Amino acid sequence: MRLHLSDDDIVRSISAHSPEGIEALYDRYGGLAHTVALRILSDRGAAEDVVQESFLTVWRRGSTFQPGRGSLRSWICTIVRNRAIDRLRGDRHRTRLDTPIEDESIEPAVTDPWVAVAIELSGEEVRKALAELPAEQRRTIELAYYGGYSQSEIAKAMEVPLGTVKGRVRIALDKLRSTLADRMETPWQTQ
Amino acid sequence: MADAMTHDEVADLLALDAVGALEAADRELMERHLATCGPCRQAAAQYADLASLLPAALELAPPPARLRRSLMAQVYAEATAAPRLPWWRRLIAGIPENRAFTVVGAAAVVAAVALGIWGAGRNAAPAPVTYSVSGTTATGVLAVATQPAQAVLTVKGLQPLPSSKVYEVWLIPNQGSPKPVGFLSPGVAGGPWTAVVPGSLAGYKTIAATVEPAGGSATPSNTEVLSGQLAES
């Protein structure tokens, strides 16, 4: 089993153009990246392409991660989400789930038990917190994050004023924040 | 135009940006405010981290084993084929993030970059050729070596970006489409931004950088922050 590397260790390794850095990044966040891509695209083949392209981009161009601008987790999530949304927008006409499931072994990308436990705990808390949101707030976030809809597109789809969309997203995230505050990696600070 | 937004108004935009719904006009307002507001930059990072927890609510969908094999086979193949990383890049990568990086230190790294290029080609090539680059707030230099064929772009005066954005570097040919060649990486503790541009610059007339979504774009957006002509200065 790989020794536990901190996210800072992984960033330094990637910056030094070390294959081990990409390997560690994938082992820690590959499962999350694949989950995000599959949720957005609903197409296993396309999701795998997006994950591979995302990690290869990090490898070929080096880490552009900026400490203090969010966590390594949010950085890789953003890269994968942006690529998946780009693909979705160019692929809306395709039939979803049209890629056959190959009969082969499945192995978790997360190989460190500590990380797996942390993600599982976080997942349970996030599920509970999301379930507590009013349906329209939850739907607004889902349309944006997983559907790739812009603020105007959401307003049109939900038949509400643009200002309502802006308010809903912030209120929803603030409520999630207050529910999850004690689970966040760093204390949330309000202005 | 002056930034007339309140923190409260910006918070609405930060939340939209975190979930990927922010549109261009509002993004411009948000980024203008972020350029001068530390607390809101911190809030932006926190909203981004919060949004990144959303997928945790999904049932984890483990990727197939072949995806890891395919990815790492490609990575190791490219690592074997690529020239070893220059010593000055390993040096920069090895600087701990929390170490104070003084003006003298920053100057030393810039000098090391120039010497590294000169040193790499000292047996067969002349000193590197340099080109000036500039933008509204940015100034910099592109130092080009011929052996090995690579260049280093060093830039000061760029604003920090949210985690969802990067500065992408482009080479614009005499004919054809701009070619993405890398990203500018921020210096430690406010030091200059740097990017390595691999390969020869033959056939290219301009170098430029734009603001693009994290991960980069296939074609540059209309957000140029600097450019420079590839004619000797």
ipTM of predicted assembly, 2 dp: 0.75
* Average pLDDT, rounded, for chain B: 76
Q: What's the predicted TM-score (pTM) here?
A: 0.57
CB-CB neighbours of A116 under 10 Å: 15
Asked if A133 is an interface residue toward chain B (Cβ–Cβ < 8 A), one would say: no
Asked if B91 is an interface residue toward chain A (Cβ–Cβ < 8 A), one would say: no
Inter-chain CB proximity A69 and B94 less than 8 Å: no
Given a cut of 90, is residue B106 above it in pLDDT? Answer: no
Q: Which of these ranges, A26-40, A41-55, A63-77, A85-99, has the smallest mean pLDDT?
A: A85-99
Over the stretch B134-169, which tens digit does the pLDDT of each residue have?
Answer: 888 888 888 887 666 667 788 888 888 876 778 888
Q: Kindly indicate the confidence band of residue B119, based on its pLDDT and cuts at 50, 70 and 90.
A: very low
Which residue from A12, A153, A129, A11 is spatially nearest to B56, judged by alpha carbons?
A129
Residue B189 confidence (pLDDT): 58
Whole-angstrom Cα distance, residue B168 to residue B208? Answer: 8
Residue count of chain A, please give it.
191
Given a cut of 80, is residue A51 above it in pLDDT? Answer: yes
Q: Mean pLDDT over residues A178-185, rounded?
A: 66
Whole-angstrom Cα distance, residue B60 to residue B62? Answer: 6
Residue B101 confidence (pLDDT): 40
Q: Kindly indicate the confidence band of residue B126, based on its pLDDT and cuts at 50, 70 and 90.
A: low
Helix, strand or coil, per DSSP, at residue A25: helix
Asked if B83 is an interface residue toward chain A (Cβ–Cβ < 8 A), one would say: no
How many angstroms away from the CA of A61 is the closest CA of chain B?
A: 5
> Cis before residue B148, ω within 30 degrees of 0?
yes
Question: Which among A59, A166, A172 has CB closest to B75?
Answer: A59
Window 130-159 of B, Cβ < 8 Å to A? none
Q: Closest-CA residue in chain B for A8?
A: B97
Six-digit token pair at A127?
């599920």
Window 149-168 of A, Cβ < 8 Å to B? 149-152, 154, 165-167
In A30-56, which positions are buried (b, 16+ CB within 10 angstroms) versus exposed (e)? bbbbbbbbbbbbbbbebbbbbbbbbbb
Which residue from A73, A66, A62 is spatially nearest to A25, judged by alpha carbons?
A73
Place of tokens 């972020």: B34
Inter-chain CB proximity A165 and B89 less than 8 Å: no
